[in-house]
Structure 1
């Protein structure tokens, strides 16, 4: 596994990009990845265009990152809302706003989540917004695992 540091970017994609660029400017990182949700963010498409033209790499989950977490438990190909994702994750031990992993989170099922994320013609291109549900998290997983081949 590649060592990494996780920094909160502020939720809204333009704030995440600003934080990523500030970190990259310090030169302490080999790579900087942005992880964002589609949600209802008005700046998402602008940020994706800026990153596609620049050197940033963006992982997008539609509608939210929580879909990636859900895929560690079960295949779910129906479109989701924030509410439906919370409801599904509560069935798997998440509480409240589902921002904290349960103690028994199945980290060992990451390859299952990767398979689900890359199946059924979901977009797997970085710096793009895929259909609901989708996530390009498999790219980040591959990078963290040190895979030269990616997904």
Structure 2
């Protein structure tokens, strides 16, 4: 599994932490193997397709299907990106799963602590996170409650019940980052 993130800190720390929580070793999370590129969604999807294709080529050359990725995900925020619609089309056409958070990925992190059902912006989410993570500055800290992933999923589903598939933009607030967590969880169980 490959997870490529728009963000370079929070997303990477989260998915590496959840991978370790479930002991899911075959998860390649970029920018430390969860790739955090700090790019716009269109560029992120293009990069992800190239990464996936490179691994598939390597798998064919070595005649080892285990080298290729079984699942490929991109993690993006809605923000004010002008390339989100282009990224959605490219992801669908390229066989990439896009997890989208509105307004930002930190909403998924917040759901590990509390509900958030009213429309909001990134600043209000970060303020709320500071109540739960002392001096929150994008880093999650060692004591992050990864075990709350199911509660977080339930909160995300209550906030936007229709945001339950990849390559779909939900309403504010919404996140389908829980889809990636489910795949990582299943990967850990199959080992």
TM-score, structure 1 normalization:
0.88
Name the residue aligned to 1:84: 124
Name the residue aligned to 1:16: 44
- Say whether residues 1:112 and 2:151 are aligned partners: yes
Secondary structure, aligned partner of 1:146? helix
TM-score, structure 2 normalization:
0.71
**Alpha-carbon RMSD:** 1.7
Name the residue aligned to 2:114: 74
Range with greater deviation from structure 2 (4-13 or 32-41): 4-13
Structure 1: stretches of 5+ with no match in the other structure: none
CA shift digits 1:76-134 (9 cap, x unpaired): 111111111111111112535x3210232111101100111112434212101100111
Cα shift at 1:24: 0.5
Deviant stretches of 4+, over 3 Å: none
Within-5 A mapping of 1:1-151: 1=22, 2=24, 3-5=26-28, 6-27=34-55, 28-95=68-135, 98-120=137-159, 121-146=161-186
Structure having the higher helix fraction is 2
Are the aligned partners of 1:72 and 1:113 in contact in 2 as well (CA < 8 Å)? yes
Are the aligned partners of 1:9 and 1:17 in contact in 2 as well (CA < 8 Å)? no
Secondary structure, aligned partner of 2:43? helix
Cα shift at 1:31: 2.1
**Separation of aligned partners in 1, 2:132 and 2:157:** 22
Are the aligned partners of 1:60 and 1:135 in contact in 2 as well (CA < 8 Å)? yes
Range with greater deviation from structure 2 (120-129 or 101-110): 120-129
Are the aligned partners of 1:37 and 1:64 in contact in 2 as well (CA < 8 Å)? yes
**Separation of aligned partners in 1, 2:156 and 2:85:** 21
CA shift digits 1:21-75 (9 cap, x unpaired): 1210112422221000001111001110221222111000111000000000011
Secondary structure, aligned partner of 1:78? coil
